[in-house]
Amino acid sequence: MKYIFLILLATARLAHATEAHVVHDERGYKLQVDGKDTLLRGMNWGYSPIGWNYSYSLWSQSDDFIERVLDRDMGLLRAMGVNAIRQFPDIPPRWVEWIYRRYGIYTVIDDLMGRYGATIDGVWIAKIDYGDPHEREALIDQVVATVEKYKATPGVAMWILGNENNYGLAWTSFEPEALPGPGHEDDARATPLYSLYGEAIRAIKAHDATHPVAIANGDLQFVDLIAKYCVGLDVLGSNVYRGASARDFFDVVEQKLHVPAMFTEFGADAYDAKADREDAVAQAEYLRAQWQEIYEETYGKGRAGNAIGGFVFQWTDGWWKTGQDVNLDVHDTTASWPNDAYPNDFVAGQNNMNEEWFGIAAIESQGADAFYQVQPRVAYYVLRAAFRLDPYADATTIDVIREHFGALHPADFAGEYEGRHALAAAAELSRIRVSGMRMRLESNYTRASAHSDRYRAPRFDHTESLFVDLTMQPTPKITGKVTVSLVGNASQNRLDPLYWENRTPRVIPGAAPATIPTTPAPASPSIDHASIYGAELKAQLPYADVLGYYRVGHTHWGYEGDFFGLYREAYYGAAIDIYHATAPLGLELDGRGAWSDFKLALGPEIYWGANPTAIAKWHHQFKDASLTIMHQEDVAQRTSLATSGTGFEPLTRRSTISVSVPAGPATIDAGAIMAAPQRVGQRYVFTHPASGSGYNGSGYDVYTGRVAWADTLGARARVAYDGGVARWYVEGQYRGLVSDGGPDQTTTWTGWTMKSSGRGNHTSVLGGVLLTFGSLQLAPNVLWQKPIVGPNPIIPDHFDPASGTYFPGVAPRNTLADPFAVLDNRETIGGELLVIYDPTPGTWYWSWDRDRREDAKFACSLDTVYRHQPTSRDATLVILADGSLVPSAAAPPAHDVWQSTFAWIAAVSSHLRLSGTVYAGQDQARAGDPRLVTRGGATFDLIRDGLTFSTIVRVRDWGPYDYHRDFNLTYPLQWYGDLSFGLAKAALGAADARLGVRWELRFLDGYSEGYVSEANAPAAYADEAEALVYFLVSI
Partner 1 sequence: MRAIVFLLLASCAADGEPWSGGPLPDRLALASADEGVYPDTSVLADPGNPFALGAIADATIWDVQSRGGPVAGFYAWSTQLARGATGERQFYAALDLKAIYQLDKADDLEAVRQHAIRGYQAVLDYFPTSVTYDATGTIAYDLATPSVLAIQELGGTVAGGWVIVTTSDGGQKAVRR
Secondary structure, 3-state, 488-536: CCCCCCCCCCCCCCCCCCCCCECCECCCCCCCCCCCCCCCCCEEEEEEE
Per-residue DSSP letters for 195-221?
HHHHHHHHHHHHH-SSS-EEEEEETTT
42 versus 793: smaller Cβ distance to partner 1:
793
325 versus 882: smaller Cβ distance to partner 1:
882
Cα dist from 804 to 111, 693, 799, 800, 807, whole Å: 88, 22, 7, 6, 10
Query: Rounded to the nearest whole angstrom, what is the least distance from the CB of residue 827 to partner 1 in the complex?
Result: 14
In three-state secondary structure terms, 903 is: strand
447 versus 506: smaller Cβ distance to partner 1:
506
525 versus 796: smaller Cβ distance to partner 1:
796
Residue type for position 144:
V
Query: Rounded to the nearest whole angstrom, what is the least distance from the CB of residue 704 to partner 1 in the complex?
Result: 5
Find the helix or strand (DSSP H, E) in which 939 lies. Answer: strand 933-944
Query: Rounded to the nearest whole angstrom, what is the least distance from the CB of residue 807 to partner 1 in the complex?
Result: 4
Report which of 853, 829, 724 is spatially closest to residue 54, judged by C-alpha positions.
853
182 versus 520: smaller Cβ distance to partner 1:
520
Contacts 24+ apart (CB under 8 A), 69-72: 69/371, 70/95, 70/98, 70/99, 70/102, 71/102, 72/374
Query: Rounded to the nearest whole angstrom, what is the least distance from the CB of residue 467 to partner 1 in the complex?
Result: 37
Strand partners, 311: 42
Per-residue DSSP letters for 66-91?
HHHHHHHHHHHHHHHT--EEEE-TTS
312 versus 713: smaller Cβ distance to partner 1:
713
Kind of pairing between the strands at 478-487 and 530-540? antiparallel
Q: State residue 681 phi and psi, 5-degree precision.
A: 95, -15
Q: State residue 578 phi and psi, 5-degree precision.
A: -60, -45
CA-to-CA distance for 96 and 104, rounded, in angstroms? 10
715 versus 719: smaller Cβ distance to partner 1:
715
Tell how far CA 291 is from the center of its chain: 38
Query: Rounded to the nearest whole angstrom, what is the least distance from the CB of residue 492 to partner 1 in the complex?
Result: 23
- 841-857 core/surface letters (b: 16 or more CB in 10 A; e: else): bebbbeeeebbbbbbbe
Decide: 1026 and 444 in contact? Cβ < 8 Å.
yes
Contacts 24+ apart (CB under 8 A), 569-577: 569/607, 569/745, 570/606, 570/607, 570/608, 571/848, 572/608, 575/643, 575/645, 576/551, 577/499, 577/500
Query: Rounded to the nearest whole angstrom, what is the least distance from the CB of residue 579 to partner 1 in the complex?
Result: 21
Query: Rounded to the nearest whole angstrom, what is the least distance from the CB of residue 486 to partner 1 in the complex?
Result: 33
763 versus 901: smaller Cβ distance to partner 1:
763
Query: Rounded to the nearest whole angstrom, what is the least distance from the CB of residue 709 to partner 1 in the complex?
Result: 9
Strand partners, 603: 613
297 versus 711: smaller Cβ distance to partner 1:
711
Query: Rounded to the nearest whole angstrom, what is the least distance from the CB of residue 932 to partner 1 in the complex?
Result: 25
529 versus 688: smaller Cβ distance to partner 1:
688
Query: Rounded to the nearest whole angstrom, what is the least distance from the CB of residue 179 to partner 1 in the complex?
Result: 43
257 versus 795: smaller Cβ distance to partner 1:
795
Query: Rounded to the nearest whole angstrom, what is the least distance from the CB of residue 503 to partner 1 in the complex?
Result: 24
Query: Rounded to the nearest whole angstrom, what is the least distance from the CB of residue 928 to partner 1 in the complex?
Result: 13
440 versus 506: smaller Cβ distance to partner 1:
506
Secondary structure, 3-state, 275-290: CCEECHHHHHHHHHHH
Query: Rounded to the nearest whole angstrom, what is the least distance from the CB of residue 733 to partner 1 in the complex?
Result: 10
Query: Rounded to the nearest whole angstrom, what is the least distance from the CB of residue 201 to partner 1 in the complex?
Result: 51
276 versus 701: smaller Cβ distance to partner 1:
701
Find the helix or strand (DSSP H, E) in which 228 lies. Answer: helix 223-229
Query: Rounded to the nearest whole angstrom, what is the least distance from the CB of residue 823 to partner 1 in the complex?
Result: 18
In three-state secondary structure terms, 134 is: helix
In three-state secondary structure terms, 144 is: helix
Cis peptide bond upstream of 839, omega within 30: no
794 versus 953: smaller Cβ distance to partner 1:
794
CA-to-CA distance for 546 and 459, rounded, in angstroms? 49
CA-to-CA distance for 483 and 915, rounded, in angstroms? 31
Strand partners, 958: 970
163 versus 872: smaller Cβ distance to partner 1:
872
884 versus 901: smaller Cβ distance to partner 1:
884
Query: Rounded to the nearest whole angstrom, what is the least distance from the CB of residue 829 to partner 1 in the complex?
Result: 19
Interface residues toward partner 1, by CB under 8 A: 509-510, 513-516, 518, 683, 685-686, 695-696, 701-706, 708, 710-711, 713, 715, 734, 736-737, 763, 788-789, 794-801, 804-811, 817, 884, 886-887
CA dihedral 954, 960, 962, 966 (to 10 degrees): -50
453 versus 701: smaller Cβ distance to partner 1:
701
CA-to-CA distance for 947 and 962, rounded, in angstroms? 31
How many C-beta neighbours within 10 Å does residue 247 have? 13
315 versus 684: smaller Cβ distance to partner 1:
684
Query: Rounded to the nearest whole angstrom, what is the least distance from the CB of residue 506 to partner 1 in the complex?
Result: 15
In three-state secondary structure terms, 93 is: helix
Per-residue DSSP letters for 425-436?
HTTTT-SEEEEE
Query: Rounded to the nearest whole angstrom, what is the least distance from the CB of residue 634 to partner 1 in the complex?
Result: 18
